[in-house]
Chains A and B, each alone.
Chain A
Amino acid sequence: MIGALAAIAALWLLGRGLRPRGAEESTGEALGLDFLFGAGLGSLVFFLFALRSIVWAFVAVYGTLLVSVVIEAIRGRGLPRLRFERSAMAVALLLLASVHILRGFRDSLAGDGYAHWGWKSKAMYLTGRVPTERLQDRERFGYANPDYPFLWPSLQTWTYLHMGEQNDEAVRILGAAFLLALAGVFVGRLRIGTVAALAAAIVLLAPRQWIRSGASGLAEPPLCAYLFAGLAAVAEFAESPSKSAAARAGFFLGFAGWTKNDGLAAVAVGGMLLGILAIRKQGGRPAAVSIGLFAIVVISVLLPWDLYKHVHDIRGYYSIGTAPVSEAGARLELIALSLKSNAMDFHRWLLIWPVLLVGVTLALPSLRRSASARVYLLGGTGIFLCYLAALLLSPLDPGWQIPTTMPRLLMQVEAPLVWCVAFAAQEATLASPARS
C-alpha cells in the first residue's frame, strides 16, 4: 500500500507546484485542488509518453514533478500547515471519509470497473504502452468503450508501477482519494460557515451510491471532482473575473473531458457560461483574453487524445449512427421511469433527489441574487440536460443504457446542486472562506 500512497502523494506534489492559485483558498480546498490538478496533468504527461513506453512515462512524470518541486521552492510554498477544525461535524465527516477509505480496502470493483477501465489499465501495464492495436480491434474490445479517454487508466497504471503489480486495492484507494479531494473543494467553496459546510459535505458523500462508487473502479469519482472544481472556478470568475480563474476553469473542465466523454458536456456548458460572463462583466479585449485563455487551456488538455483517436481511427458507438427520432417518446418515458426509480431508491440515494428538487426550488430567490450560485445551478442543470440529449440520441439499446447510466449521471451533477441548497440555507458570506 505504501506504493499506492506514494503514487497519490507524487500527484499531489505535482499539482502543488504547478497549479494556478485562486485568491482565497482554505487548506482543505487547496489540498484537494492540488491533487486534482496533479492527477490531471500527471495523467496527460503519462499518456503522451506511454504511447512509446510506460517506463518512459513513469520517468517523464517524475521529471515534471522535479520541475514542480523547484517551482514550489522558488515560490516559497513548502508544505501546507494542516489545521484541524475542533468541531463534532468535522469528526463526523472524518468518520464518513474513513468509511470511504475502508471500502477501498475491502470492496470489489464494479463490472465496468473490470471490463472498461480496468481492462485498459491492465492492457497498458501488460503490453508496456498504450494498447493501440487492442483499442482498434472493435470486434473484440468494442464493449470496453475504446474511444473513452485515458486519464483514469493512466492513473491506474501509474499506481501499478509504484506497487510493481496490478492491484485492485490501489484502484479503489485512488477512487477514494478523488472523493476526498472533492469533499475538500466542496467544503472550501461553500463559504457559509464551518458547520453548515461540513453538514452539506456529509449530505453529498453519505449516500450508498457515493460510497460504492469510490471503490468501484469506475471513472465517476474523478469526473465528479473535476466537474465541480471546474464549475467552482467559473463561479469564482463570475464573482471577480480574472485570467487565473479562466485558466483554472479551463484546466479542471478540460480534465473532466479527459476523464470521460461525459465530461465534454461540462466543457461545453462551463465554457458557455464563462464566455457569457466574460462578455457581460469584462467586455471588449479583456473578455477576448479570458475566453481565449480558457479555450487554449481546454484545447491543450483535450487535443492529444483527439489527435490520437483520429490518427488511429478509434471510434465510439456514436459512429454507428444515432437513434431514430421515432424512438424519442419511448426513450423519454424510459428516462422518466429511471429518474423516478432513482428518486425513490432510499437505500441508494437516501431520498436526496426529491429533497434537492424541493430544496433548489425553495432556494431560487437566494440563488438568483448570487452570481456564483447561478453558475452552479445553471452549470449542474445544463450538464444534466446535455446528458439527457445524449441518451435520446444514443444508438445503443435504451432499455439497457438508460437505467444503467442514470445513477452515474445523477451523481455527476449532484455536488453543484447540493451546493446551491446549502448556500441558500445559510446567509451567504462569500468574502470569507470556510476553514477546514
Chain B
Amino acid sequence: MAAAVYVVTGIAALFAARELWRWFRTRPFRADRRTLLRLVLGAMAVLGFGYSVPREARNAIEKIGPSSPLPPDVSACSSLIAEHVPFGRSVLVVLPQAWSLRDRKYLETNLNYLVCPLRIDYAVDSRKVAHDYRDVDRATAGYSDPLQFFRPLSAERYDFVLVFRPEPPPRGYERLDENERAVLYRRGP
C-alpha cells in the first residue's frame, strides 16, 4: 500500500513540477524580487506536496502515527463505569498518585468524552503529595482535583467511587466490582 502511495504521489509530483516550471518560464528570468518570490512559491509547493502528501497519506492508511486504541487504563475504567453506573449518577475517579499530570489528563479527556461526560470528577489522594510545588501548603487531607486548582473533593458527594490500584479504598463505600486496574465502590447503606 505504501508503495502505491509513493508511486501515485511521485507521478503527480512530476506532472505538477513540469506545470510549475512552465508557469515559472512565462516571465523572463531576471534577478529581481518577483523572480525570487516565484522561486520561493514554487519550491514551497514542491516541498509541501512531495514531503507531506506521501507521508501523511501513508500515516493515515497504515496508522503509523501517534493515534492508537485506548490505553488499558482508560478501557479498564470505562468498562467498569459503563457496566455498573446508570446514567445520571455521579462517579469520583481516584487516580494513582504515581501518574504524571499528562497521564491523568489523558485519562480524564478520554473518559469525559467516551463514557459519561456529565458525571465524572477526578481526584488524587492529596494526603500523600502536593501536585505542584507551588501549592504545597494547599495539600489537605482528603481528595483533591488534580487539574482544577486543587479544589478539595469530598467522597460523600458521589454515588460511586472508582479507585485505581494501588490507592486505598474510600470510607463508607462497599466494593461492587473490580478488574486488573481498578476497583469500583458504591455508597454504603
**A-to-B contact residues, CB < 8 Å:** 87-89, 91-92, 95-96, 98-99, 102-103, 105-109, 111, 114-115, 118-119, 122-123, 126-127, 131, 134, 139-140, 142-143, 193, 195-196, 199-200, 202-203, 205-208, 211, 350-352, 355, 358-359, 362-363, 365-366, 421-422, 424-427
| B82 located at the interface, meaning its Cβ lies under 8 Å from any Cβ of chain A in the complex | no
Q: Inside 8 A of A111's CB, which chain B residues have their CB?
A: 105-106, 109
Q: When chains A and B are docked, how far (Å) is the Cα of A362 from the Cα of B33? A: 6
Spot the interface stretch: B36-44, B135-143, B161-169, B174-182.
B36-44
Minimum CB–CB distance for A262 against chain B, Å: 21
A426–B39 Cα gap in the complex (Å)? 11
Q: A108, A126, A208, A359: which contacts B117 (Cβ < 8 A)?
A: A126
Min C-beta distance of A288 to chain B, whole Å: 39
Given contacts A199-B42, A352-B44, A425-B40, contact A118 B147 (CB under 8 A): no
Q: Are B45 and A88 in contact (CB under 8 A)?
A: no
The answer to whether A359 touches B40 (Cβ under 8 A) is: yes
Contact for B148 among A98, A142, A200, A355, CB less than 8 A: A142
- Bound-state Cα–Cα, A96 to B106, Å: 30
Q: For the complex, what is the distance from the CA of A341 to the CA of B53, rounded to whole Å?
A: 23
Given A95-B9, A119-B112, does the pair A127, B118 have CB atoms closer than 8 Å? Answer: yes
**A118 to B109 CA separation, bound complex (whole angstroms):** 10
A202 touching B9, Cβ below 8 Å: no
Complex alpha-carbon distance, A421 and B33, angstroms:
11
Main secondary structure, interface of A, reads: helix
B38 contacts which of A96, A106, A355, A426 (Cβ < 8 Å)? A426
Task: List chain B residues, Cβ under 8 A from A362.
Answer: 33, 36-37
Contacts of A88 in B (CB 8 A): 12, 15-16, 18-19
Is B61 among interface residues, defined by CB-CB distance under 8 A?
yes
Question: Once bound together, how far apart are the Cα atoms of A377 and B8, in whole Å?
Answer: 36
How far apart sit A431 and B147, CA to CA, in the bound complex (Å)? 55
Residues of chain A within 8 A (CB-CB) of B27 are 427
Q: Is B78 among interface residues, defined by CB-CB distance under 8 A?
A: no
The 0/1 profile, CB within 8 Å of A marked 1, for residues 1-43 of chain B is 0000000110011011011101100010000011011101110
Q: Which among B44, B61, B67 is the interface contact of A350 at CB below 8 angstroms? A: B44
Q: Are A203 and B56 in contact (CB under 8 A)?
A: no
**Hey, which chain B residues are within 8 Å of A427, CB to CB?**
27, 34
Closest to B106 in A: A111
CB distance from B110 to the nearest CB of A (A): 7
Q: Would A202 and B63 be within 8 Å (CB), given that A95-B12, A99-B53, A425-B41 are in contact?
A: no
Of A92, A105, A142, the residue contacting B49 (CB under 8 A) is: A92
Given A91-B12, A106-B67, A123-B118, check contact A350 B106 (CB 8 Å).
Answer: no
Q: Is B151 interfacial (CB-CB < 8 Å)? A: yes
CB distance from B35 to the nearest CB of A (A): 9
How far is A192 from B7 in the complex, measured between Cα atoms in Å? 31
Nearest chain B residue, comparing its CB with the CB of A217: B113
Nearest-neighbor residue (CB-CB) of A140 within chain B: B121
Shortest B140–chain A CB gap in Å is 16
- Asked whether A206 lies within 8 Å of B49 as measured between CB atoms, the reply is yes
Once the chains are docked, how many angstroms separate the CA of A99 from the CA of B109? 27
List residues 41-74 of chain B with CB under 8 A from any CB of chain A: 41-42, 44-45, 47-49, 51-53, 55-57, 59-61, 63, 65, 67-68
Q: How far is the CA of A206 from the CA of B18 in the complex (A)?
A: 19
Most buried by A among B8, B23, B113, B121: B113
How far is A412 from B44 in the complex, measured between Cα atoms in Å? 19
10 example contacts (A-B, Cβ-Cβ < 8 A) are as follows A88-B12, A89-B19, A99-B56, A108-B68, A111-B109, A350-B51, A350-B52, A363-B33, A421-B41, A427-B34
Inter-chain CA distance A418–B16, complex, in Å, is 19
Separation of A188 and B22 alpha carbons in the complex (Å): 21
Bound Cα distance from A110 to B169, whole angstroms: 33
Chain B residues with CB under 8 A of A105: 60
Q: Which of chain B's residues have a CB closer than 8 A to the CB of A123?
A: 117-118
| Smallest Cβ-Cβ distance to B70: which chain A residue | A108
Q: Which of B9, B13, B117 has the most CB of A within 10 A?
A: B117
User: Which chain A residues border B125 with CB–CB below 8 Å?
Assistant: none
Rounded to whole Å, the gap between the CB of A376 and the closest CB of chain B is 15
Task: Let me know if A421 and B113 touch, CB within 8 A.
Answer: no
Q: How far is the CA of A362 from the CA of B47 in the complex (A)?
A: 20
